[in-house]
Homo-oligomer: A and B are copies of this chain.
Amino acid sequence: MNHLPPIGRKTWAIAEGYIPAWSNGPAPEFTSHEAFCVLNTSEEDAKIDVTVFFANRNPVGPYRIEVGARRTKHFRFNHFKDPETIPLGTSFASVFQSTVPVVIQHTRLDSRQAQNALMTTMAFPGAE
């Protein structure tokens, strides 16, 4: 592998967030999920604090996650447990603060109806 230039930012935000409350099809592939993918191309492990925002109460967090050096990892908000789980069918948003530059992308699979729907977007990058 060639030496890769660093790519990404240390701060990211996703304004959309919603875990569909039910699913169709075999788990875990077709469990409705709200997910984000983190790519860490750097030579250092990324320690990332995720803060989750809600409509009617204070933000919750940080959820502490890690992505190894030169690794990618896909996370589902459905699996967040500490400090607390995220309720289904509720609007939220999220902010990510990483110790090293990473790239973050948002994806939802919604299988509440018989056929799944998908959507994705790059998260919004902070200034650095």
Contact = CB atoms under 8 A, between A and B. Distances in A.
Interface of A: 1-2, 4-5, 7-8, 11, 13-18, 25, 29-30, 37-39, 41, 49, 51, 53-56, 58-62, 70-74, 89, 91-93, 95, 97, 102-110, 112-127
B114 A115 contact: yes
Q: Is the interface of A mostly helix, strand, loop or mixed?
A: strand
Given A8-B124, A59-B1, A71 B95 contact: no
A37 to B, nearest CB: 4
A87 B6 CA distance: 26
A55 B29 contact: no
A41 B54 CA distance: 11
Contact of A16 (B53, B58, B105, B127): B105
Given A62-B2, A113-B25, A70 B53 contact: yes
27 contacts: A1-B58, A1-B59, A1-B60, A1-B62, A4-B95, A5-B126, A7-B95, A13-B103, A14-B39, A15-B37, A15-B102, A15-B103, A17-B72, A39-B53, A39-B93, A39-B95, A56-B71, A59-B70, A72-B91, A72-B93, A103-B124, A105-B124, A112-B116, A113-B116, A118-B118, A118-B119, A122-B122
